[in-house]
Structure 1
Amino acid sequence: MPASIAASRFRLSVFAFALISILLTGLTLTVQSADKSETKPKVDYSAEMPRILPLTPEEAVESFKIHPDFEIQLVAAEPLVRDPVAMCFDARGRAYVVEMPEYNDANKEGYSSVKLLEDTDGDGRFDKSYPFLSDMTLPTAVFSYKGGVFVGAPPYVYYCEDTDGDRIADVREVVMTGFGRDKGDEGMINSFRWGLDNKIHFSTGIDGGNVTLAADENKKTYNTKGRGVILDPETRTIELTTGGGQHGMSLGNWNREFVCANSIPMQVLMYDDRYIARNPYLAPPAAPVSIAPGGKFTKLLRISQVEPWRVLRSRIRAASERGDYEKGQPSGFFTAATGITVYRGGAWPAEYQGNLFVGEPANNLVYRAAPQPDGLSLVAPRADQDAEFLASTDVWFRPVQFENGPEGALYVLDMYRELIEGAPFIPEEVIKHLDPVGGQDKGRIYRIVPKGFQQPQQADLTKLSLQELVELLESDNGWTRDTAQRLLYERQDTSIAANLKQLATGSSKPITRATALWSLEALKSLDESTLLKGLQDESFQVRKQSLKIAEQSAGAKAIQQQMIALAKDPSLEVQYQAAFSLGAFESLARNAALADLLERHAANQWMRMAVQSSLDQGAGDVFEILLANPKSLDDKRIEPFLIDLAVQIGAQKNEESVSSLLVSIAVLPESHQKLAEILFRNLLSRASNETKQVVAKSNSDQIAKLLKGMMQTAISQATNGKAVVKTRVAAIPTLSIGSFDETQPVFEELLSVQQPLPVRQKAITALGLINDNRVAELLIEAWPGLSPQLRMSAVETLFSRKPWLVSLLEAVKAGDINPGDIGPDRVQLLKTNQDKTVKKMAESLFDNERLTGRSDVIKEYQSSLKLKGSAANGKLVFKKSCSACHRLENVGIQLGADLKAIKDRGTEAVLLNILDPNREVKPQYVTYLLVTTQGRTITGLIKEENANSITIARADGTSDTVLRIDIDELISSRLSFMPEGMEKQINKQEMADLLAYLNSIK
């Protein structure tokens, strides 16, 4: 099953506390008891668990309620197809369908497949099925190319082809390998989509992987975690781009990308991080932006009954943990958003073009939204107010993916399963009345068409001439345009260039003109005159696409001039694209255009990011232009951008830019001295050796005065006990760039027990930025006066550099620090440290109990399941032991997974997850060790990742964003971020209380 379906499974598995929830997909929940007599008696609920039987395909059609303007038609069902999770059409109108019957089968694998379906009589319904590929393991995606198909089946992407005409593949070639394969069958590569740029785009889900191309002799590795992949099907090369979502990615007509995940039904990706990668000093905001106004709280209008097993499970939980019946609804909201798809067909009324469709298999329905512009982003409100676009009364209906078809219809892939949740997460007394693999021999594919739809005759596009293919670019049907464009790319025949140029400049349809331009570019037949016309096209969308194409031709003066002109285009979207595309070349005129863009859109974070993405070169010029403009100096919205540029210039090894910046700062008027101090401080915050040398050699009295005044102000503000705490905290980071000889006494004062907690916390964090061995001495000396929370932060700081870590261990050895102050997770990391000295010291200092052997602890804590828990007391346990990384009822920090959905877990499963978090660690919850080029070590969870930076969330609730150019090593510990050994903090009664509290949350 695709990750999307398992999204529901993920929701059911969301639980953990303390540091992070590690959800053990596929986990065996049978927990051994120390004594069988201690096992809770099992009640026979068979009378309350009537099986809901599957419907026949014909009966299932009658179970649907659909938008009144449409009808749903069955086009394939068992035995032609089973468990469909992805599909594509080839140029002949045949469908390749990925089947995944392995879902929820813990005992077998390797019997999934790809079927080839044909409609031999032209009535729009498939009547022939062939086993194109057999013996597959967990295939997830498919796309047609050059008579064969690319197939995603982690860890591989294959190219498969039938060369002898028997409709069974005799070529199965590995194109790339290394994609993550989740043991819970979720979050894997998915959604192969054809883009305007003549490439195949796809999502890597949540599992990513370290990928290599089979044809690459150098075996270059691509880290695809959190990324999207763009495959050139002709050259078999790839690029990484922005990623996101879990299962489901779709491209709109103009290549705008949408994803979905679990309880997040719709997100748009705000940028292509290939642009971000050009400037390694830029740390951008996260690209996925939720566009559904209600988000995960969107109310769904389900019409199917709530399955008896759900009702029973809720009652069992209520009786055992709360003593009263759970009044909350077990369904009716997004828990398994999957298969997001933009409708691009030509058969529906025009107003439906661009609508978004998302499957919700746990609620047996399909949701529709109608996106609208919202600045540079979108908002996608519900399109159907009183009923879902499509819903079924059949609880076996599991819509997991969609496809735009050759005739303009929208196809719905129905996995058709009795149980879409992961079987291991259903209580034993309930699951025995269900069939976890029920439906693995079934599956349906439907299409949605307007009422009165007449099936057109399907042409075989492979038999068309080049000219006929060019003419098809005028089609209103997205599938037809895509396929014609793809076939032109496959043939690589430049003789058709004149026809394409005529279409690019003369078609009445903007999408046709843009498609023709991209086709010319792919055939290397786009001349300057045609491109210039595209850059001046009456449609802003065509101008946007032309800017992207022009990046490859930016050496031409006329092209540069027109690209610069578009920085003042009437369309905000064109200006945004220009901010990215102007990074393709450098000139003073370009720098002036970028500065102007920034001044006009200083409040827009996306525009600021786009401008900086183009300033790997030219940052100094833009900085100088902005500081020379009095209006910019007085515009507080520009200050964040100036700060970012100052940091970049300081980190870059460009002495000329640093000198220019110093001059610009030095001549600022007295009224802007505060801004001068801020910019100078940020210039030094990540300064390269070259920058430090330029500053040291500076003969400017103003700069010397700035530095001295800045430190004096920081010390004065940080130590002023009468000042507002927020002001004191804001001043502390400046202390980290001064001489430690000067600031050490200040830090000693800031760490004293008389200081407010935020001041002490910030002082510990700032000390981590100072490369001086006396920092460790200072923290160890302050240790007796540190609270548990501050000790956690101090441990994080001391872990960040090897000499400090050794000092920490020596302090434990000397008895100055209690071994219990070092959390079990950190002890485990110490014992697996790559440095032999550290590893040896840790093994000798800490209890040698092997935490990963958890069976005895699990047996011991079985008795907590029989104790009556107090939800009120459990809330206190949560606050003490879980709130560092989880937030419930306005208590704690939301670092880990959302715990609001834990009602869907059985208490035995929850207990096992708590006590043995490392049994199976999901990739998004693995602890990483990041070592910077400056020698710092940061330990934590990867929260965000893009082309340029990684954000590490640490155990003390803080986080660090590190640019990739500053990363020396990134090492996976393979350990859960949730620590083992929680039994040392929570006794059996407290465990019962905690479980009661978590089950009481509505």
Structure 2
Amino acid sequence: MVIKAYSCFFAGAVLAAATVWADEPVPDPSELPRILPRDPSAAAESFELAHGFRIELVACEPQVIDPVAIAFDEDGRLFVAEMRGYPERRDQALGRIRRLEDRDGDGYYETATVFADQLKWPTGVVCWKGGVFVCASPEILYLGDPDRDGRAEERKVVFTGFGAGLPRLNMQALVNNLQWGPEGRIYGSTASNGGTVRMVGQGGTGVSLRGSDFSFDPSLLDLRAESGTAQYGLTFDDFGRRYLCSNSRHLIAVMYSWPWNLSNGLPHPLVDIPVDGGAAEVYRTSAVEPWRVVRTRWRVQGRVRGPVEGGGRATGYFTSASGLTVYRGGALGESQLGTVFVGDVGSNLVHQKRIAFPPGMVQPEAHRPASLSKSEFLTSTDNWFRPVQCANGPDGALYIVDMCRETIEHPWSIPDSIKKHLDLYSGNDRGRIWRVVRKDFRAPSMASLSKLGLQELVDKLQSTDGWTRDTAMRLLLERREPGTEDLVAKVALGEQFTVRTRAQALRLLGRFRSLTEAELRSLGTDASPELRRQSVRSWKEVDNGQLATWSQDQDAGPRFEAILRSLDPAVKVNAETLGLFLSDRGGDPWVRRVAIAAARIHGVLPDLVRRARDLVQARLLVMESGLAPHHPSVREVVERARVILDRGGISKEVEEAARWFVANDPLSRTEDLLSWLVEGKAVDSALAALLRRPVTEWEQAALAEWQRIPVHARASLLGRMTASTVLGAIENRRLAASEVGFAQQRALRLDGENTIRRRAEAVFGREKVLTRHQAAERYRPALKMKGAGKAGEVIFGQRCATCHKSGHHGAGPGLATLRNKGAPMLLENLLVPDREVAPQYSIWEITLRDGSRLGGVIAEENAGELTLWFADGTSRKVARGDIAKLVNLNRSLMPTGLESGLSLQEMADLLTFLTGRIN
């Protein structure tokens, strides 16, 4: 006999229907008018800025054309990478590096020289020894100017292999964004097209950069992989933290760098940190391009391929995040230091975020400035404004690189029938660079750093301006004059200097010599956690005792750096020391998970569990390490938990942890777990344990106690029961038909067996589901009704809360992200959940090697395992070795028809709660 169980989380996958694509539609030409360009003065009038700032034109055509990246040299000259030939003329090698100069000192770069030409799509530039490194896939070149005449006589391919072997190069996924890193290395992004890259003229197999970004020492040319990868945006803060961006992920923190092996259970290092989500709302002031409106309509109608995002809206959310930059200058004011700027080229704007670290946590959060909750730092009504990169300038200003073209969209994503009405090269004779400053800002006279002597350059490390400190550091590395080491050491170790200055000087000093043990110990007791963090990173050799000392630091930053050092197999560390990094209740989740990974590397994970300070901590360790219930160390804790429960007199938190261990013990009796449900003891633990057991062990017993089981647990139990059992319980009046959720009812009505389908229709009736158009007409009036947030919170709890948590962890977006969408978009998402499915919330169908199937959202993954979130609020770790097949269904966990049974007033209440109004 075949037993079928219907899980709510899998119903959407079961019901997924294939899409049949018809011939591409033909647009009405009247719907696709062209957009005319504006001259620079008219474009300057199109901007709206945050209060207190102004924007100025720095350069424009013909001095600059198709700019995508910039770098200032030590004398303020501006090197510009011109990606001429975009989007599809790479082979013509039209790309150039321009050198711009402001010879009269008026702030406008009027003089342009072609520094180098005949380049294939240059996408990054950085200065070094009078020349520049340039990335032009598949290569990174060095273009030198030995005679300093403004023209590169030297042309050398340094690295090659980026994107090699691909049938065609994606013009929006090339090696790009060369930037100076905190320790004097040059970093770059591969945009997921790294490949195997080797140094030209050297043998060997090269360096694999698949799924990685990279860095190299400009003197030694030692290429290494770095955690990544980004699409077009890479930046560092004053203390060396790296941030990235990609199209719909506008701000990503890099929590740690390779070479740590993800198979040891480490979480992936890249984390979206905006509280409003990676594809957050944006507030453009430009009109939506007509072609974009037509394409979106066709996608929504299913007439052309392509993702339907933003609830079927053409714009209004991040689709093309580019040029991420941490602001480190002075021209915007001290309050703007450390904020992040990122362009959205498709929406003609520059967005701003403030980064903050929650107390005791190492993972930052990014928030909109309070004054920009429903607006942007900079927008333009000109559709030709394309802010592809931001940069810190020598004058402390924020510079914005404007590619300035009519259409910047990827040509592969525009239907051919629409492309016929566009000119993808319209704008290939234009380009602008802008500068943003405070309204009252007066530009300082530009100092020529190339003329400074050694002491003067070292003094520049004290500048409040990040660009000046970085450039002084670069020149000191280029020259490597005798005496540099001693002068830099005085700054690095001098307590009279600012933390920013000392942090940068310490990193520079590390390029000349290692710090002594006495110096490191002194830094390790400094009042600044940033300097203590730098001290931890600077130790060459680490032992168990040193790690134990660092574990007692009161700040999460140094502790996290310390626990990362324990991942080195050469560091001898024991479970006792690793346990010191864990607070009574587990502490920072990043510190805890790295401690678990280190324990696995050093073979002391069982001992770490045994040494847990209490059952609460032990539960966290076992849950996140994936130790099997039958493992001896877990068995020991289980027996300890049983003794504690029998003894009684314990806190509720400890009791919950003890019951979790007993519930997950395979030797525990199913009837005991059911009794816990009935008695309201550790309900979540008992429920999760039951759901992992064969359904035939508990479904009849659960129905016998049905009215005594908590309501929120019933839906999960029903979702796992066999079809015959559910229908039989309704037929025998042991269960009300109304208790079976909409998705499960639908799955039963559409069951593959005729008998089940007939029985389902008999107990539920024929399905009366509104078409999505009918649903929209039915519930649209709710948008204008006054709702009660408190009542909406109850509905949310009943229908939504298992997936949509208040934080970031769940099978759907968190409440903060939902509340940023607005009521109309939320209603659209509710009624047509599959219209917009963010990649991180798509259902994955997993076929295990034993033939069973799972369907859920991948919450986390590494080389060894992945964690699935299910719509009933539970999760499960799955070892990759147990997976036979993994398929992305591109479906939402939220079932179509979730609104079924809601009145107009109830929908208004729900929308009121979701938009953040509780009354």
Sort the TM-score into its range (normalised by shorter chain): 0.5 to 0.7
Q: Does structure 2 conserve the Cα–Cα contact (< 8 Å) formed by 1:344 and 1:353?
A: yes
The residue aligned with 1:407 is 395
**One of 374, 379, 383 as aligned partner of 1:395:** 383
Rounded to whole Å, the distance in 1 between the matches of 2:751 and 2:477 is 56
The residue aligned with 2:162 is 178
The residue aligned with 1:359 is 343
Q: Does structure 1 conserve the Cα–Cα contact (< 8 Å) formed by 2:257 and 2:269?
A: no
Describe the shift of the 1:760–1:333 C-alpha distance in structure 2 as closer, same or farther (beyond 3 A).
closer
Q: Does structure 1 conserve the Cα–Cα contact (< 8 Å) formed by 2:233 and 2:324?
A: yes
**One of 200, 217, 220 as aligned partner of 2:203:** 217
Cα deviation code 1:849-874 (max 9, x no counterpart): xxxxxxxxxxxxxxxxxxxx984599
The residue aligned with 1:249 is 234
Q: Does structure 2 conserve the Cα–Cα contact (< 8 Å) formed by 1:152 and 1:158?
A: yes
Rounded to whole Å, the distance in 1 between the matches of 2:215 and 2:250 is 23
SS in 1 for 2:396: coil
Describe the shift of the 1:172–1:584 C-alpha distance in structure 2 as closer, same or farther (beyond 3 A).
same
Q: 2:523 matched to 1:541? A: no
Q: 2:40 matched to 1:87? A: no
Describe the shift of the 1:51–1:220 C-alpha distance in structure 2 as closer, same or farther (beyond 3 A).
closer
Rounded to whole Å, the distance in 2 between the matches of 1:88 and 1:968 is 49
Rounded to whole Å, the distance in 2 between the matches of 1:429 and 1:512 is 56
Share of identical aligned residues, percent?
Answer: 29
Q: Does structure 2 conserve the Cα–Cα contact (< 8 Å) formed by 1:591 and 1:622?
A: yes
The offset of 1:341, in angstroms, is: 1.1
**One of 502, 517, 527 as aligned partner of 1:528:** 517
Letter in 1 for 2:232: H
Q: Does structure 1 conserve the Cα–Cα contact (< 8 Å) formed by 2:351 and 2:377?
A: yes
The residue aligned with 1:919 is none
**One of 23, 34, 42 as aligned partner of 1:59:** 42
The residue aligned with 1:196 is 182
The offset of 1:338, in angstroms, is: 2.1
Q: 2:276 matched to 1:288? A: no
Q: 2:54 matched to 1:71? A: yes
Letter in 1 for 2:353: A
Rounded to whole Å, the distance in 2 between the matches of 1:151 and 1:22 is 44
Describe the shift of the 1:967–1:727 C-alpha distance in structure 2 as closer, same or farther (beyond 3 A).
closer
Describe the shift of the 1:661–1:239 C-alpha distance in structure 2 as closer, same or farther (beyond 3 A).
farther
Q: Does structure 2 conserve the Cα–Cα contact (< 8 Å) formed by 1:213 and 1:220?
A: yes
Per the normalisation by structure 2, the TM-score is 0.68
**One of 488, 492, 496 as aligned partner of 1:500:** 488
**RMSD in angstroms over aligned alpha carbons?**
5.6
Q: Does structure 2 conserve the Cα–Cα contact (< 8 Å) formed by 1:368 and 1:383?
A: no
The offset of 1:330, in angstroms, is: 4.7
Rounded to whole Å, the distance in 2 between the matches of 1:281 and 1:681 is 27
Describe the shift of the 1:428–1:644 C-alpha distance in structure 2 as closer, same or farther (beyond 3 A).
closer
Q: 2:253 matched to 1:265? A: no
Cα deviation code 1:510-547 (max 9, x no counterpart): 11111122122221242222222221222222112222
Describe the shift of the 1:453–1:236 C-alpha distance in structure 2 as closer, same or farther (beyond 3 A).
same
Describe the shift of the 1:680–1:924 C-alpha distance in structure 2 as closer, same or farther (beyond 3 A).
closer
Describe the shift of the 1:136–1:218 C-alpha distance in structure 2 as closer, same or farther (beyond 3 A).
same
The offset of 1:727, in angstroms, is: 7.3
Mean alpha-carbon deviation: is it higher for 351-360 or for 953-962?
Answer: 953-962
Describe the shift of the 1:467–1:720 C-alpha distance in structure 2 as closer, same or farther (beyond 3 A).
closer
The residue aligned with 1:145 is 128
Q: Does structure 2 conserve the Cα–Cα contact (< 8 Å) formed by 1:925 and 1:977?
A: no
Rounded to whole Å, the distance in 1 between the matches of 2:626 and 2:583 is 17
* Unpaired stretches in structure 2, ≥5 consecutive residues: 1-12, 304-309, 647-654, 707-713, 723-743, 753-770, 778-799, 805-809, 826-834, 892-919
Rounded to whole Å, the distance in 1 between the matches of 2:623 and 2:80 is 52
Describe the shift of the 1:239–1:56 C-alpha distance in structure 2 as closer, same or farther (beyond 3 A).
same
The offset of 1:72, in angstroms, is: 1.9
The offset of 1:423, in angstroms, is: 5.0
Rounded to whole Å, the distance in 2 between the matches of 1:412 and 1:58 is 16
Q: Does structure 1 conserve the Cα–Cα contact (< 8 Å) formed by 2:266 and 2:862?
A: no
Describe the shift of the 1:82–1:715 C-alpha distance in structure 2 as closer, same or farther (beyond 3 A).
farther
Describe the shift of the 1:717–1:175 C-alpha distance in structure 2 as closer, same or farther (beyond 3 A).
same
Describe the shift of the 1:872–1:519 C-alpha distance in structure 2 as closer, same or farther (beyond 3 A).
same
Q: Does structure 2 conserve the Cα–Cα contact (< 8 Å) formed by 1:931 and 1:970?
A: yes
Mean alpha-carbon deviation: is it higher for 327-336 or for 189-198?
Answer: 327-336
How many residues end up aligned between the 2 structures? 760
Rounded to whole Å, the distance in 2 between the matches of 1:144 and 1:510 is 26
The offset of 1:734, in angstroms, is: 7.0
Q: Does structure 2 conserve the Cα–Cα contact (< 8 Å) formed by 1:493 and 1:523?
A: no
Listed as ranges, the matches of 1:250-649 within 5 Å are: 250-269=235-254, 271-274=255-258, 277=260, 280-284=263-267, 287-293=270-276, 296-300=279-283, 302-307=284-289, 309=291, 330-375=314-359, 376=361, 377-382=364-369, 384-385=371-372, 388-422=376-410, 431-492=419-480, 495-506=483-494, 507-550=496-539, 552-554=540-542, 561=546, 564-583=548-567, 591-600=575-584, 602=586, 604-615=588-599, 616-617=601-602, 618-626=604-612, 629=613, 632-633=614-615, 636=616, 638-645=618-625, 647=627
Letter in 1 for 2:487: N
Listed as ranges, the matches of 1:651-690 within 5 Å are: 670-671=643-644
* Unpaired stretches in structure 1, ≥5 consecutive residues: 1-15, 24-28, 34-38, 651-657, 683-705, 736-742, 765-785, 795-868, 876-886, 905-913, 915-921, 980-1002
The offset of 1:666, in angstroms, is: 6.1
Letter in 1 for 2:508: S
Q: Does structure 2 conserve the Cα–Cα contact (< 8 Å) formed by 1:247 and 1:260?
A: yes
Q: Does structure 1 conserve the Cα–Cα contact (< 8 Å) formed by 2:162 and 2:190?
A: no
The offset of 1:202, in angstroms, is: 3.1
Q: Does structure 2 conserve the Cα–Cα contact (< 8 Å) formed by 1:313 and 1:427?
A: yes
Rounded to whole Å, the distance in 1 between the matches of 2:19 and 2:245 is 21
The offset of 1:187, in angstroms, is: 3.9
SS in 2 for 1:192: strand
The offset of 1:442, in angstroms, is: 0.5
SS in 2 for 1:447: strand
Cα deviation code 1:956-975 (max 9, x no counterpart): 99998677xx779999x9x9
Rounded to whole Å, the distance in 2 between the matches of 1:415 and 1:959 is 45
| Higher RCO (CA-CA < 8 Å; seq separation 6+) | 1
Q: Does structure 2 conserve the Cα–Cα contact (< 8 Å) formed by 1:78 and 1:442?
A: yes
Letter in 2 for 1:304: S
Q: Does structure 2 conserve the Cα–Cα contact (< 8 Å) formed by 1:547 and 1:578?
A: yes
Cα deviation code 1:566-594 (max 9, x no counterpart): 43333333333333345569999975454
Q: Does structure 1 conserve the Cα–Cα contact (< 8 Å) formed by 2:841 and 2:858?
A: no
Rounded to whole Å, the distance in 2 between the matches of 1:18 and 1:209 is 38
**One of 215, 220, 236 as aligned partner of 1:230:** 215
SS in 1 for 2:156: strand
SS in 1 for 2:474: helix
Cα deviation code 1:458-491 (max 9, x no counterpart): 4443444333322211111111111222233344
SS in 1 for 2:195: strand
Rounded to whole Å, the distance in 2 between the matches of 1:384 and 1:712 is 56
Cα deviation code 1:417-473 (max 9, x no counterpart): 112334565567765554222111100011123335444444443444333322211
The offset of 1:132, in angstroms, is: 3.1
SS in 1 for 2:534: helix
The residue aligned with 1:713 is 669
Q: Does structure 1 conserve the Cα–Cα contact (< 8 Å) formed by 2:400 and 2:433?
A: yes
Rounded to whole Å, the distance in 2 between the matches of 1:580 and 1:969 is 30
